[in-house]
């Protein structure tokens, strides 16, 4: 664990982002996916020539399945200002947070729907490596700045003032949303499965209309038509959505298409760009 002052300095952007005026009335719906077809497809891709340069991962397959579903349900890729404004985003740029210990590193794959699984896996790894190197270089400077007695408070006050003004100046807020896409993309997919998480309900903040949570794979016993038991690998998915602008039926159809793409990966995760 870091020094508490350093830890809070690192968390400041997150603390500001989760201010009550940014938080949405979040509803979560869950759906189980038979992940065996995607795992089998991943194994098949690992023997392809492209795998020598970019090893396919289950996370890359999930990102591709989500991006293809988003293209059919593009509303969930839009920005929402929390009031009466919805701003279209035609580019689908997914972000997937990576655990860095005491803070997450957000990795963005631009135009995810236009890339195949190999390209997504390669770009994710390259961007993660670049981000890690950048943090290792700049984090000490950032922490030294926040140990100063006065400047961090002035900087924080100006940031808070800028955020408070944004809702009153819609063009400024929309500009801020567009600029944020370079850092946080247009839609978030959080994969907690590697940490063994089996259930999680989060909190949406603007401008996101929805976000996807990926949980740990489990094995369920199911009974086949002839009555014999069989073991199925199940991947639980949870979709969070802002109830002000989306309802359960609308959101469930989007989540069902992600499920369909993962259960039929050769067609559902095909490159449609």
* pTM of the predicted structure, to 2 decimals: 0.90
Q: Give 218's contacts (C-beta < 8 A, 6+ positions apart).
A: 198, 233, 234, 236
Question: Is 269 in contact with 42 (CB distance < 8 Å)?
Answer: no
Residue 185 falls in which region: left (phi positive, over 0), alpha (psi -120 to 50) or beta: left
Question: Is 128 in contact with 105 (CB distance < 8 Å)?
Answer: yes
Q: Residue 207: is the preceding peptide bond cis (ω within 30°)?
A: yes
Compute the distance between CA of residue 173 and CA of residue 70 in angstroms, rounded to an integer.
Answer: 24
**Burial (CB count within 10 angstroms: exposed 0-12, middle 13-18, buried 19+), residue 49:** exposed
User: Could you state, in order of their start, the residue ranges of all structural domains in the chain?
Assistant: 4-268
pLDDT of residue 1: 57
H or E element at residue 129: helix 117-146
Burial code (b: 16+ CB inside 10 Å, e: under 16) for 184-201 equals: bbbbbbbbbbeeeeeeee
Instruction: Report mean pLDDT in 10-residue bins for the chain, 273 residues.
Output: 79 78 90 97 94 93 98 97 92 91 85 96 94 88 85 84 84 84 92 91 91 96 89 96 96 98 96 67
Question: Is 189 in contact with 120 (CB distance < 8 Å)?
Answer: no
* Structure-block tokens of residue 210: 């929805």
* Structure-block tokens of residue 119: 């390209």
The fold of 4-268 is Chloramphenicol Acetyltransferase (3.30.559)
- Residues in the chain, how many? 273
């Amino acid at each position: 664990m870091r020094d508490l002052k350093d830890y809070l300095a690192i968390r400041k952007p997150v603390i500001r982002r989760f201010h009550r005026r940014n938080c949405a009335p979040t509803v979560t719906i869950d759906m189980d996916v038979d992940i065996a077809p995607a795992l089998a497809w991943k194994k098949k891709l690992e023997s392809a020539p492209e795998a020598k340069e970019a090893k396919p991962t289950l996370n890359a397959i999930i990102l591709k399945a989500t991006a293809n579903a988003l293209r059919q349900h593009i509303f969930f890729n839009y920005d929402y200002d929390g009031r009466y404004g919805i701003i279209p985003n035609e580019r689908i740029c997914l972000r997937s947070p990576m655990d860095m210990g005491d803070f997450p590193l957000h990795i963005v794959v631009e135009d995810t729907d236009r890339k195949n699984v190999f390209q997504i896996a390669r770009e994710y790894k390259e961007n993660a490596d670049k981000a890690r190197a950048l943090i290792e270089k700049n984090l000490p400077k950032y922490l030294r700045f926040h140990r100063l007695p006065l400047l961090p408070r002035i900087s924080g006050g100006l940031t808070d003032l800028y955020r408070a003004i944004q809702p009153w100046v819609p063009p400024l807020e929309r500009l801020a949303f567009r600029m944020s896409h370079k850092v946080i993309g247009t839609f978030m997919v959080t994969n907690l499965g590697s940490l063994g998480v089996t259930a999680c309900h989060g909190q949406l903040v603007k401008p996101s209309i929805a976000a996807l949570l990926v949980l740990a794979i489990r094995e369920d016993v199911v009974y086949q038509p002839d009555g014999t038991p069989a073991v199925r690998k199940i991947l639980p998915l949870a979709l969070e959505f802002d109830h002000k602008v989306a309802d359960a039926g609308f959101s469930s159809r989007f989540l069902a298409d992600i499920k369909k793409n993962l259960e039929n990966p050769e067609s559902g995760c095909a490159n449609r760009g």
